[in-house]
Each structure stands twice: as structure tokens, then as C-alpha cells.
Structure 1
Amino acid sequence: MRNFAARIHHGALRGTPAVVLENELLRVTVLLHGAHIIEFNHKPRDLDFIWLTPGTSWPGQGDFFDSYPGGWQEIFPSGGAPATYRGAVLDQHDEAVALPWECEVVEDDPARVAVRLTVRTKRTPFRVSKVLSLASGEARLSVSSTVTSEAPVETHAMWGQHLAYGAPFLIPGSRITLPPGVTVQPHEVTLNPPRRAVAEGGPYPWPVVPTPDGGTVDLSVIPEPGAPSDVCYLTGFTEGWYELRRPDGDAGVRVKWDAATLPYLWLWHEFGDTTGHPWWGRAYVAGLEPFSSYPTNGLPDAVANGSAMTLAPWSSRSVDWSVEVI
């Protein structure tokens, strides 16, 4: 136990076991039921970048929308709407976010701390493990994730990092910066269809794209509350990175990942335009989510369009990613 440099705390929030990684610059809180990262706080500003769900959603309470606290999640093996894959009935973003994860301290030193979180899925034959680490003096969380098939047959999966940004960090005029060459592919969503911000068709060059009413929208700029909601898919990443900055330039994040393993970036916009379930007009959030596959209709659609990951019997895949305050 330390109260300086890099350190780890264990505890519980509203009865849910949690682990906190902390240093001079960052405090990162992870709920162990679902491995939800619910705090990414830049301590010099007391500025949290993570969006938290309004209301009383909390892990373990019910279906996904009852249990989604907001924050950042590891999505595996199905992304998006409820679906059935080879007889396995999967809820929204099932299964890893719905299960309790084991936590093991793998490094505990003033210079660096790290924990390993592990879960086995129930309806599908997988194990997911990730190491979260924080070094003294750095405003960067590093994550190394591995998924393993424990089946003697070939399987498919969708794998993503569900990173959602909100208040107090996210404000109108915040800007998304991407590498050159990225394109936007809209796709119709089967669950809770959004009021679209992007016209069907594409792909379109990032960031200015047509809207359903014949106009255009610059997807790189976070709009005022009340703007249309949408989910679209960005691809063409020669390098896996993005930056999201406030308009005053005072704060932002840079996310880096292996684009060969996660070649898509899901862009989820919800700015108060959904006035019924599940948001009731209370959500102002932008999701920028590196993913292996698309769309957000569940694993069978990703298998059908050829974007799903294929795992050979007893095989593993790994990806490293990081998020840093800039």
C-alpha cells in the first residue's frame, strides 16, 4: 500500500468489487463485474473523460441497458444488437461485459503498476484476458488484451474497445482527428434505430459526408445538443490512432491501437435526440471504438459480410492499445 507514485487500490462501489490504478497524473477505476472502466480522471485538472450513463444503470442489474454504467468496455464475442450465433443466444454487446472478471496484481512498484483481468464466457467457448498498466509520471493507460478459443472447432467473434466520452470533458466544438485516407461507411442498425446523421450509401471520404436531407455534416466536429444520432463505421486506417480534443485545445486524448487486428473504428453519436428508451433525451456522448468487425447488429451479420474474426481451434489473438491525455 502506497499513497505516492504508481499505486493500486482495491475496494467496492455500490457493492461491486473494483480496482483503482493511480499515479501522480491519472486515476483509473475499473468495476470487476463487466470490467467497466468508469473513471479516467486527469488529476491536475480534476477532469474525467468518460461518459457515465444517466440514471441508475449498474453492472449485474439486468439486460445490457439496465447494466451499462457507461465508461469503457472490452466487447467480445458479439458487438451490438442481440443475436443468435450457432445456437448461443447473445444479448447486446454480449458476453464479456455481463460477467464478473477475476483480478490479479502482476506488478506493484512505485515505477509501474499492472493488473490482469480475466473472464471465461458462458455461452461461447472463449477466455478473455487483459493487462492494464500505469507508469509513474505518465498520463497514459496501456492495455494488452488476449482472446483465446477453448474449442476444438473453428469459431468467429467480434472484438472491440467500447470507448465512450462525455461530460465534463466532451463539449460542443470538440474535434476528432484521424490519419489520412479514412472513409465512412454508414449501415442500417436493427436495434433502437437512430435518427440518422449520415445518408445511406457510401463509402464517403472522412470527415464531410452527406446527410439524409441532402446537406452535409462534418463528423469531425462534436455538435450542439439535439443533433441527429447515428452509428457509422470508419476504415482505411494505415495507422491505428485518433485524437479527440476540446475546442479550446486545453485537453484531449490520443488513442492508439493495432489497426491490423482492429481495422474499423465505430463512431457512435448520441446527443439527446433519442427521447425514448434507453436514453430519454439525457445522453450527450460520442463513442470512438476500435473494432475487428462491423456492423453493430451482432455477430451473425459480421460473419455474413466477412468482417468477423476467425479463430482456429485452441488459438489466441492479441492486441495492444493505449489512451493518453494530450
Structure 2
Amino acid sequence: MNNKRNYACRITTDLVYKGYDTVVMENEVFRLTMLPGKGSDVIELLHKPTDTDFCWMTQLGLRKREALFTAFQQQYEGGWQEILPHLSGKHQFQGISMEAYGEVSLTEWSYSILKDTPEEITVCFTNRLRTMPLVIEKMVTLVTGAPGFQIYERVTNESIARIFADWGHHITFGTPFLTPGTSIELPVNRPPFIVPEFGSPGGFESLKVDHGAYRLMRPDGIGAQISWDAEKWPHLWFWRDFGGDTSPPYYGRHFNVGLEMFTSPPASGLQESIDRGTAMKWEAHETVSAHLQFTVLHEDLARIDK
């Protein structure tokens, strides 16, 4: 589809960026760019009035597919990935080879336009898994004038078997948006985390959330909030790299945080999540739904509704 409308809500689909099919969804104040050709990755979260892109990219950025480099980390450009059906490194599960962090972040998604009006646009991105009889459908919606977007998702078991899987969103924020002094309000009962200076030590925590929302606010009053279905994704992985660690894979070159909502805490493999009772379960032909929202914030907006 080649929509010529260049005002209010609009969708551009006839694009290829660095070899990947690309979908751009935007309105008067916000632009979202996604790659159905690569995991439905989000590679742009642009707030137009302040020219702020909240989407962090690595030093290497997005690269074309190469046969020699196919693993998640080798293809990782930063940004935002969907993760399914597991959250761990490459391993065997019930005799099936599971690629690192699940296949949907590495494979192509199909997409269709569900709604296309000046007031509202919705695109449905779909991936039918190879390793399990699951199909995921992700509906992304922008409405006119809104500084952000909504996601409504459903994952369906297309078999008569009982299926277990882990699921969630691998979201990162970094430079140029992220700066020292940025306050990160986490969905747990403790004071906000304040981003330190470049060269500071990083770290990792797996948090069981009290509610499904966090926000980042820079000292200049520009920020972002993500809210989600905490019943489905009750664990937040909070990892930090502030350039103080010179080991692989980043060698002290990055300044970023990961704030990622998942079904489970880290595990050695999917079986570990199943054994401790945190993996999601689908009965025969069952559908599980979840939702998520990204919103640009300004200093005068209310604090997260707890």
C-alpha cells in the first residue's frame, strides 16, 4: 500500500531500510518505525516537537543480514525487540534447538493494515513460530495528536497440546536521549534510580513488579513512560551499561539501560522457567492476550498512576 496522505495519522509501507521491509506509522507529533523484515523491531521512537528519538542504537547499529552472523547478539542493533518463546541463550528443549532469546526477534513478520484514517491507524504484525505451534499477532495503534502508541497482542496455541513458553519485550534506552541525571521511576517500592556519569559501573537486576509502569525523566523535563499488563509480564529486567565495563560485547562504548518486561526472571533455558512455575501456559487452542503503551512525557504530567 502506498498511502499519499501526509497529515494527521498516516502509514508508509513501501520502504526497505538496509535490506529490511519497513513500516512507518506517524501522526502530527510522533513517528514510529518498525522492521517487519527483522523481528518487528522498533528502531525509531521520535517525538517531533522536541526532535527526541527515544530509541537507542548500538555503535554498530542496524546491519544487513549476513550468513556468518545470525545469532541474536550478532544481529542486535539496539532498539526494541519482541521475545518469544524463551528468554535464555541457545539450548535444547524437548529435543528442539532453541535459538538465543527466541526466534521471533530474528525472523520476518507479515503485516496487514487494519485501520487507516486521519484520526487513527492500526497495523497488525504476525509471526507463526517454527519451534512451537504458536502464532503471535501484534496490533499497533496511533491516534491523532497522541505522543505515543498502544500495542495489543495475542498469542494462540494452534495445537491440541499444552504449550509452555516465556514472552516479553526487550526495550532499551540510551544516548542521545539518556543523560546523566535522568531519573528512572521503577515499578517497585523504592526511590528512583538516577543515571550516573559516563564511565560509571553498570549492573543488572531482575525485579518482581508492584505495578505495570515505569518512566524515565531527564533533568530538562523530557521523558517517556511505558505501561503494560503486569499480570502477564510480572518481571522487569533492569540492566545498565554506562561505559565503565570494557569487556565484550560493548567494550565500554555504550551508555544505556534496558528496561524489559517478561513473564519470568532470567533462566538457563525454558525448562527452568517451567520447573519454577513462571513460564506462561497455553491449553489446547487457547489464546493469551496482553497490552502495552508508550507515551512521551513532559515535566508537568502527573506521576505514574499506581
Q: TM-score, normalised by structure 2?
A: 0.89
Q: Does 1:234 align with 2:204?
A: no
Identity %: 35
Q: Does 1:264 align with 2:264?
A: no
Worse overlay, 143-152 or 296-305: 296-305
Would you say the 8 A contact 1:125–1:151 is kept in 2?
Answer: yes
Would you say the 8 A contact 1:83–1:300 is kept in 2?
Answer: no
Would you say the 8 A contact 1:48–1:167 is kept in 2?
Answer: no
Q: Does 1:39 align with 2:44?
A: yes
Q: Per the alignment, do residues 50 and 297 of structure 1 end up closer, same or farther by CA in structure 2, a change over 3 Å counting?
A: farther
Would you say the 8 A contact 2:87–2:167 is kept in 1?
Answer: yes
CA distance in 1, matches of 2:142, 2:52: 18
Equivalent residues in 2 for 1:73-112, closer than 5 Å: 73-112=81-120
The correspondence for 1:72, drawn from 69, 80, 101, is 80
CA RMSD of aligned residues (A): 1.7
Q: Does 1:246 align with 2:250?
A: no
CA distance in 2, matches of 1:89, 1:288: 27
The correspondence for 1:206, drawn from 190, 193, 198, is 190
The correspondence for 1:6, drawn from 9, 22, 30, is 9
Q: Deviations over 1:206-250 (max 9, x none)?
A: 35xxxxxxxxxxx7111222232322111142x3111111123x2
Would you say the 8 A contact 2:18–2:64 is kept in 1?
Answer: no
CA distance in 2, matches of 1:166, 1:251: 14
Q: Per the alignment, do residues 82 and 274 of structure 1 end up closer, same or farther by CA in structure 2, a change over 3 Å counting?
A: farther
The correspondence for 1:53, drawn from 47, 58, 61, is 58
Equivalent residues in 2 for 1:165-176, closer than 5 Å: 165-176=173-184
CA distance in 1, matches of 2:208, 2:170: 16
The correspondence for 1:305, drawn from 259, 276, 282, is 276
CA distance in 2, matches of 1:59, 1:288: 26
AA aligned to 1:233 is S
Runs of 5+ consecutive residues of structure 1 not aligned to the other structure? 183-204, 208-218
Query: CA shift at 1:258, angstroms?
Result: 1.1
Worse overlay, 21-30 or 226-235: 226-235
Q: Give the match for residue 291 of structure 2.
A: 320
Equivalent residues in 2 for 1:78-227, closer than 5 Å: 78-179=86-187, 182=188, 206-207=190-191, 220-227=193-200
Would you say the 8 A contact 1:83–1:298 is kept in 2?
Answer: yes
AA aligned to 2:25 is L
Q: Deviations over 1:153-180 (max 9, x none)?
A: 112111111110011110111111134x
Runs of 5+ consecutive residues of structure 2 not aligned to the other structure? 298-306
CA distance in 1, matches of 2:257, 2:17: 25
The correspondence for 1:18, drawn from 9, 22, 40, is 22
CA distance in 1, matches of 2:218, 2:264: 29
Q: TM-score, normalised by structure 1?
A: 0.84
CA distance in 1, matches of 2:19, 2:64: 10
Counterpart of 2:207 in 1: which secondary structure?
Answer: strand
CA distance in 2, matches of 1:234, 1:143: 23
CA distance in 2, matches of 1:59, 1:269: 27
Q: Deviations over 1:55-95 (max 9, x none)?
A: 15536441111211211111111113222221222222111
CA distance in 2, matches of 1:277, 1:151: 41
AA aligned to 1:164 is T
CA distance in 2, matches of 1:119, 1:289: 20
CA distance in 2, matches of 1:271, 1:296: 24
Q: Per the alignment, do residues 134 and 246 of structure 1 end up closer, same or farther by CA in structure 2, a change over 3 Å counting?
A: same
Counterpart of 2:193 in 1: which secondary structure?
Answer: coil
